[in-house]
Amino acid sequence: MATKNKAQIGMDDRIISNSELLALLEERESLREAARAFRNKDKDAKDAVMKLDEPMPYRIGRFIISETKREGRHIDFEVSPSSSVKITTADE
Protein backbone atom coordinates (compact mmCIF):
# COMPACT_ATOMS: atom_id res chain seq x y z
CA MET A 1 0.00 0.00 0.00
CA ALA A 2 1.52 3.31 -1.05
CA THR A 3 1.38 6.15 1.43
CA LYS A 4 1.61 9.86 0.81
CA ASN A 5 4.13 11.68 2.94
CA LYS A 6 3.02 14.83 4.67
CA ALA A 7 5.34 17.69 3.89
CA GLN A 8 6.01 18.04 7.62
CA ILE A 9 4.35 17.46 10.95
CA GLY A 10 5.72 20.59 12.57
CA MET A 11 8.37 23.24 12.29
CA ASP A 12 10.91 20.97 13.96
CA ASP A 13 10.31 17.56 12.40
CA ARG A 14 12.30 14.89 14.19
CA ILE A 15 12.96 11.77 12.13
CA ILE A 16 14.40 8.83 14.01
CA SER A 17 15.93 5.60 12.77
CA ASN A 18 14.82 2.40 14.49
CA SER A 19 14.40 -0.56 12.15
CA GLU A 20 12.86 -2.78 14.83
CA LEU A 21 10.16 -0.23 15.67
CA LEU A 22 9.55 0.51 11.99
CA ALA A 23 9.04 -3.21 11.24
CA LEU A 24 6.61 -3.49 14.16
CA LEU A 25 4.63 -0.45 12.97
CA GLU A 26 4.49 -1.78 9.39
CA GLU A 27 3.23 -5.17 10.63
CA ARG A 28 0.64 -3.40 12.78
CA GLU A 29 -0.57 -1.42 9.78
CA SER A 30 -0.81 -4.53 7.59
CA LEU A 31 -3.17 -6.14 10.16
CA ARG A 32 -5.52 -3.16 10.36
CA GLU A 33 -8.03 -4.38 7.74
CA ALA A 34 -8.09 -7.90 9.18
CA ALA A 35 -8.85 -6.50 12.65
CA ARG A 36 -11.64 -4.31 11.24
CA ALA A 37 -13.14 -7.28 9.38
CA PHE A 38 -12.99 -9.39 12.57
CA ARG A 39 -14.75 -6.72 14.64
CA ASN A 40 -17.52 -6.43 12.04
CA LYS A 41 -18.05 -10.22 11.86
CA ASP A 42 -17.88 -10.48 15.66
CA LYS A 43 -20.68 -7.91 15.98
CA ASP A 44 -22.76 -9.68 13.30
CA ALA A 45 -22.31 -13.06 15.02
CA LYS A 46 -23.24 -11.69 18.45
CA ASP A 47 -26.29 -9.95 17.00
CA ALA A 48 -27.36 -13.24 15.37
CA VAL A 49 -26.89 -15.10 18.66
CA MET A 50 -29.01 -12.58 20.54
CA LYS A 51 -31.85 -12.96 17.98
CA LEU A 52 -32.09 -16.72 18.63
CA ASP A 53 -34.53 -17.93 21.24
CA GLU A 54 -32.17 -20.56 22.66
CA PRO A 55 -31.34 -20.85 26.35
CA MET A 56 -27.62 -20.43 26.96
CA PRO A 57 -25.11 -22.02 27.22
CA TYR A 58 -25.17 -24.16 24.09
CA ARG A 59 -22.80 -25.54 21.48
CA ILE A 60 -22.89 -25.03 17.74
CA GLY A 61 -20.15 -26.89 15.91
CA ARG A 62 -16.92 -26.23 17.77
CA PHE A 63 -18.25 -23.04 19.36
CA ILE A 64 -19.65 -22.67 22.87
CA ILE A 65 -22.13 -19.84 23.23
CA SER A 66 -22.63 -18.48 26.72
CA GLU A 67 -23.74 -15.27 28.32
CA THR A 68 -22.38 -13.27 31.23
CA LYS A 69 -24.84 -11.02 33.01
CA ARG A 70 -23.79 -8.02 35.03
CA GLU A 71 -25.99 -6.23 37.49
CA GLY A 72 -26.45 -2.51 37.07
CA ARG A 73 -24.31 -0.41 39.40
CA HIS A 74 -23.20 3.10 40.12
CA ILE A 75 -19.50 3.86 39.71
CA ASP A 76 -17.98 6.91 41.34
CA PHE A 77 -14.23 7.27 41.06
CA GLU A 78 -11.45 9.72 40.44
CA VAL A 79 -9.45 9.60 37.24
CA SER A 80 -5.72 10.20 37.55
CA PRO A 81 -3.80 12.17 34.95
CA SER A 82 -2.41 10.00 32.17
CA SER A 83 -1.18 10.09 28.61
CA SER A 84 -1.66 7.84 25.63
CA VAL A 85 0.17 7.18 22.39
CA LYS A 86 -1.52 7.77 19.05
CA ILE A 87 -0.06 6.06 15.98
CA THR A 88 -1.15 7.16 12.51
CA THR A 89 0.34 6.95 9.05
CA ALA A 90 1.68 10.00 7.24
CA ASP A 91 -1.33 10.07 4.88
CA GLU A 92 -3.98 10.17 7.63
Q: Are 47 and 41 in contact (CB under 8 A)?
A: no
Q: Is the pLDDT reported for residue 57 higher than 90?
A: yes
Higher pLDDT, 91 or 30: 30
Cα separation, 41 vs 25, in Å, equals 25
DSSP state of 59: E
H helix or E strand, kind and range, residue 60? strand 58-60
Residue range 83-87: mean pLDDT, rounded? 84
pLDDT at 7: 59
pLDDT at 89: 75
Cβ neighbors of 80 (< 8 A, separation 6 or more) are none
Higher pLDDT, 89 or 68: 68
pLDDT at 47: 95
CB atoms within 10 A of CB 29: 14
pLDDT at 30: 95
Q: pLDDT, tens digit, for every residue of 1-52?
A: 555 555 556 677 788 899 999 999 999 999 999 999 999 999 999 999 999 9
